[in-house]
C-alpha cells in the first residue's frame, strides 16, 4: 500500500494531515501503518481476529460521535482521522493508567524487558506517576506445560494467546476465567499446552512478559541480542525466521513474517532445534592425513597439494552430499565432480512419519522431509539413498577404491574405517566424526548459520539466508572451497560471493535460471519448471 496510489477498489482518506489510498476494506490501523504511523494496540494482531477489547487503539474520526477502535473500523472515502489529537492521546493515557494499576513493576527481572509494548507505550504517553493506592492483584506463576510459563500478574488480557489456540492451532486449550480485574488466562482441567505442536507462538505474540519460554528464561536481555534473518533448517517448509544471537551463540529462533510461506508462525519442532549450531567441536583448519597421521595445514598449501592429487587422474569419482547444504554448496560439489570426469552423487534425507500442518494456515506444515534442501539436491541431479532416519545407504561406498568426496554428511552411523580403501578421500564438513578420520584431506566448512546462501523448499521456492554467527578458525563456505578446486581443474572463474556461486548453480540447473539474489529478495522466488519440448 503506497501513499497516494489510487486503484479501482481503493479508498482515499486523510490520517494526521497526510492523504493515503488503500484497498477497500482496510482498517484505519492498517491504513495508518501504510503511512508508517503505528497506532498503539494490544489485542490486534494481523494474523488473528480483532476483538477490539484493549481500547488502546481508539482514534478520533471527524464526524463520529465518539472515538473509534481503529483495529476494526474500516476506512471510508474522504474520511479524516486524527490519531494524535488531544482526545485520543488523553484516552490512551487513561487506558495505560488502568493497565498499570495491577501490572507489577518487575521490569528488571522480566524476560520481555526491552521488547515490551507496555514499556514503550507508557514511556511515550503514560502518566509520570501512578495514582492507585490499592494493593495490586497477585496471581503468581503458572506452568502451562511444554516450554511455556505464565505470569498472571503481568497479563493485560489481550487474549492473543487464546485466539491463536482457537483460530490458528484450532486446539482450544486456553480460555479466560473470572471477570473484571480478576480475569485470568487458564487451561482446561490442568491439561496445559504440552504436546501442541505450535504452542510456542503464543510466547511470540504476547505483547508483555506474561508468557515466557522456559528455554530462554533469564538467558539474555533483548537489547543484547543481534537479529539476523535466515531460514529454518529443520524441515523442507523453509520458514522465514530470525536468529537471535549473543556472544556468537544462537540464543533462540523467532518467526519472521512471510505471508507466502509461514505467515507469522513457526512450529515448535523447528523452534527448539538450534543447539547444534552452537557446537564447539569444529574442524577449524585444513587437515592433511600424512602416513596415517593428521597434520594441520593452511588453505594455500592444502589446495595446492590436493590439486596435484586430483591431476593425477584418480578415477572414478563418487560423492556424498547433505540436504542441509545450500544450493551453492551442492552446485559447487556437482561442478567439481563434473570437472573430474563425472560421477554419482548421493544424499541421505531424514524423514518424519507424517506432516503436521497448522490448521488455521495449512500452507505451513512441519514437513516429512526433515532437512531444508532436499529439493535443491534433487534439482541438481543427486540421488536419495538410505532409510527414513537419514542413515544407511552408503555400504557400497564404505570400501570404495576410487576418489570419494563427502560434503556435509557427518557419517555418524558409519564405522571409523569408512573410506580407508579409497585412492583419495576428501571430507568437507564442519564437525569431526570417526568416519571422517580416514580422510586424506579434511577441509573445514562453515555451517549455514555462518554463511550466505539459498535453500529450495518443498514447493520449489528459493529463499535466501544470511550469516548470523562468525565462522571458527579457517572455516570457509563449501561453495568457495569446492569452487576453487573446480576452477583449478577447469580453468574457470572462482566464485567470490554467494551470489556468484548461485549464478554458477544456474548453469547446472535450468530451474534456477533467471533467478538472482536481487529477484529472490527477502521473500523468495519460485523456480522455473523446465518444459519438455515436443520431439526433444
292: CATH: 3.40.50.740
- Residue 295 is assigned to a structural domain of this protein: yes
What's phi and psi for 395, nearest 5 deg? Answer: -60, -40
Classify residue 140 by burial, with Cβ atoms within 10 Å: 0-12, 13-18, 19+. exposed
CA distance readout (Å), 428 to 485, 490, 515: 12, 20, 27
Last residue of a domain, one of 84, 118, 138: 84
- Residue 245 is assigned to a structural domain of this protein: no
> What gap in Å lies between CA 348 and CA 377, rounded to an integer?
10
Task: Please tell me whether residues 315 and 442 are part of one structural domain.
Answer: yes
Strand partners, 185: 176
Task: Please tell me whether residues 45 and 187 are part of one structural domain.
Answer: no
Task: Please tell me whether residues 61 and 142 are part of one structural domain.
Answer: no
Task: Please tell me whether residues 71 and 171 are part of one structural domain.
Answer: no
335-350, pLDDT tens digit by residue? 999 999 989 999 999 9
Task: Please tell me whether residues 423 and 458 are part of one structural domain.
Answer: yes
Task: Please tell me whether residues 58 and 168 are part of one structural domain.
Answer: no
> How many domains in the chain?
3
- Residue 267 is assigned to a structural domain of this protein: no
- Residue 97 is assigned to a structural domain of this protein: no
Torsion, Cα 20 51 182 93, to 10 degrees, reads 10
Position 536 pLDDT exceeds 50: no
**Model confidence band, residue 1 (pLDDT cutoffs 50, 70, 90):** very low
Task: Please tell me whether residues 119 and 80 are part of one structural domain.
Answer: no
Task: Please tell me whether residues 50 and 19 are part of one structural domain.
Answer: yes
pLDDT at 510: 93
**Model confidence band, residue 531 (pLDDT cutoffs 50, 70, 90):** low
- Residue 33 is assigned to a structural domain of this protein: yes
212-221, pLDDT tens digit by residue? 999 999 999 9
- Residue 536 is assigned to a structural domain of this protein: no
| Cell numbers representing residue 356 in the block | 503436521
pLDDT at 535: 53
Helix 498-508 and helix 478-490, axial crossing angle in degrees, nearest 10: 60
Last residue of a domain, one of 84, 112, 129: 84
Task: Please tell me whether residues 462 and 513 are part of one structural domain.
Answer: yes
Task: Please tell me whether residues 14 and 120 are part of one structural domain.
Answer: no
Last residue of a domain, one of 195, 224, 253: 224
375-401, pLDDT tens digit by residue? 999 999 999 999 999 999 999 898 899
Task: Please tell me whether residues 327 and 201 are part of one structural domain.
Answer: no
135-150, pLDDT tens digit by residue? 888 888 999 999 999 9
CA distance readout (Å), 398 to 319, 391, 407, 414: 12, 13, 15, 8
CA 215 to chain CA centroid, Å, is 17
> What gap in Å lies between CA 145 and CA 215, rounded to an integer?
12
81-132, pLDDT tens digit by residue? 999 999 999 999 999 999 998 899 889 999 999 999 999 999 998 888 888 8
470-515, pLDDT tens digit by residue? 999 999 999 999 999 999 999 999 999 999 999 999 999 999 999 9
Task: Please tell me whether residues 108 and 72 are part of one structural domain.
Answer: no
- Residue 255 is assigned to a structural domain of this protein: no
Question: Comparing C-alpha atoms, which of 200, 451, 198 is closest to residue 332?
Answer: 451
Domain residues for the domain of 64 are: 10-84
- Residue 330 is assigned to a structural domain of this protein: yes
| Cell numbers representing residue 520 in the block | 529472490
54: CATH: 3.10.20.740
> What gap in Å lies between CA 81 and CA 58, rounded to an integer?
11
Question: Comparing C-alpha atoms, which of 527, 508, 528, 455 is closest to residue 333?
Answer: 508
> pLDDT > 90: what percent of the chain?
87
> What gap in Å lies between CA 338 and CA 343, rounded to an integer?
7
172-230, pLDDT tens digit by residue? 999 999 988 889 999 987 789 999 999 999 999 999 999 999 999 999 999 999 999 99
The secondary structure of 124-174, three-state, reads HHCCCCCCCCCCCCCCCEEEEECCEEEEHHHCCCCCHHHHHHHHHCCCCCE
122: CATH: 3.30.70.20
pLDDT at 105: 86
The single residue listed with the C-alpha cell 489485542 is 43
Amino acid at each position: 500500500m503506497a501513499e497516494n496510489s489510487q486503484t479501482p477498489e481503493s479508498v482515499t482518506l486523510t490520517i494526521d494531515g497526510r492523504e493515503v489510498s488503500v484497498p477497500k476494506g482496510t482498517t484505519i490501523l492498517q491504513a495508518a501503518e501504510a503511512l508508517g504511523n503505528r497506532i498503539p494496540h494490544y489485542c490486534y494482531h494481523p494474523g488473528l481476529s480483532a476483538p477490539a477489547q484493549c481500547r488502546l487503539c481508539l482514534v478520533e474520526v471527524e464526524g463520529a460521535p465518539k472515538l473509534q477502535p481503529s483495529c476494526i473500523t474500516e476506512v471510508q472515502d474522504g474520511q479524516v482521522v486524527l490519531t494524535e489529537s488531544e482526545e485520543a492521546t488523553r484516552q490512551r493515557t487513561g487506558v495505560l493508567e488502568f493497565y498499570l494499576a495491577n501490572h507489577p513493576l518487575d521490569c528488571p527481572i522480566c524476560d520481555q524487558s526491552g521488547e515490551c509494548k507496555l514499556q514503550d507505550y507508557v514511556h511515550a504517553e503514560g502518566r509520570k506517576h501512578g495514582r492507585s493506592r490499592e494493593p495490586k492483584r497477585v496471581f503468581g506463576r503458572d506452568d502451562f506445560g511444554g516450554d511455556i510459563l505464565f505470569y498472571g500478574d503481568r497479563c493485560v488480557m489481550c487474549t492473543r494467546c487464546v485466539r491463536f489456540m482457537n483460530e490458528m492451532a484450532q486446539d482450544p486449550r486456553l480460555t479466560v476465567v473470572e471477570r473484571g480485574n480478576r480475569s485470568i488466562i487458564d487451561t482446561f482441567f490442568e491439561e496445559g499446552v504440552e504436546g501442541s505442536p505450535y504452542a510456542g507462538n503464543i510466547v511470540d505474540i504476547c505483547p508483555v512478559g506474561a508468557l515466557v519460554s522456559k528455554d530462554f528464561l533469564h538467558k539474555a536481555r533483548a537489547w543484547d541480542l543481534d537479529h539476523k534473518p535466515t531460514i529454518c533448517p529443520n524441515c523442507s517448509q523453509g520458514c522465514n525466521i530470525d536468529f537471535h544471537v549473543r556472544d556468537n551463540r544462537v540464543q533462540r529462533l523467532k518467526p519472521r513474517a512471510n505471508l507466502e510461506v509461514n505467515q507469522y508462525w513457526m512450529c515448535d519442532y523447528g523452534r527448539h532445534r538450534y543447539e547444534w549450531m552452537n557446537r564447539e567441536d569444529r574442524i577449524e583448519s585444513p587437515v592433511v592425513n600424512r602416513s596415517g597421521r593428521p597434520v594441520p595445514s593452511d588453505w594455500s598449501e592444502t589446495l595446492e597439494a590436493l590439486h596435484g592429487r586430483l591431476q593425477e587422474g584418480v578415477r572414478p569419482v563418487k560423492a556424498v552430499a547433505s540436504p542441509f547444504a545450500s544450493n551453492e554448496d551442492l552446485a559447487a560439489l556437482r561442478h567439481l565432480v563434473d570437472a573430474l570426469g563425472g560421477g554419482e552423487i548421493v544424499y541421505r534425507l531424514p524423514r518424519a512419519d507424517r506432516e503436521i500442518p497448522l490448521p488455521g494456515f495449512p500452507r505451513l506444515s512441519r514437513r516429512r522431509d526433515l532437512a531444508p534442501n532436499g529439493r535443491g539436491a534433487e534439482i541438481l541431479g543427486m540421488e536419495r539413498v538410505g532409510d527414513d532416519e537419514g542413515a544407511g545407504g552408503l555400504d557400497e561406498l564404505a570400501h570404495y577404491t576410487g576418489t570419494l568426496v563427502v560434503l556435509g554428511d557427518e557419517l555418524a552411523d558409519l564405522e571409523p574405517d569408512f573410506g580407508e580403501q579409497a585412492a583419495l578421500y576428501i571430507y568437507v564438513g564442519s564437525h569431526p566424526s570417526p568416519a571422517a578420520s580416514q580422510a586424506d584431506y579434511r577441509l573445514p566448512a562453515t555451517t549455514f548459520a555462518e554463511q550466505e546462501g539459498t535453500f529450495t523448499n518443498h514447493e520449489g521456492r528459493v529463499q535466501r539466508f544470511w550469516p548470523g554467527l562468525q565462522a571458527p578458525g579457517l572455516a570457509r563456505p563449501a561453495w568457495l572451497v569446492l569452487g576453487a578446486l573446480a576452477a583449478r581443474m577447469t580453468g574457470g572463474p572462482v566464485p567470490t560471493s554467494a551470489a556468484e556461486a548461485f549464478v554458477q548453480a544456474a548453469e547446472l540447473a535450468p530451474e534456477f535460471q533467471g533467478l538472482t539474489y536481487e529477484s529472490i529478495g527477502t521473500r523468495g522466488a519460485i523456480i522455473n519448471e523446465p518444459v519438455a519440448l515436443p520431439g526433444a
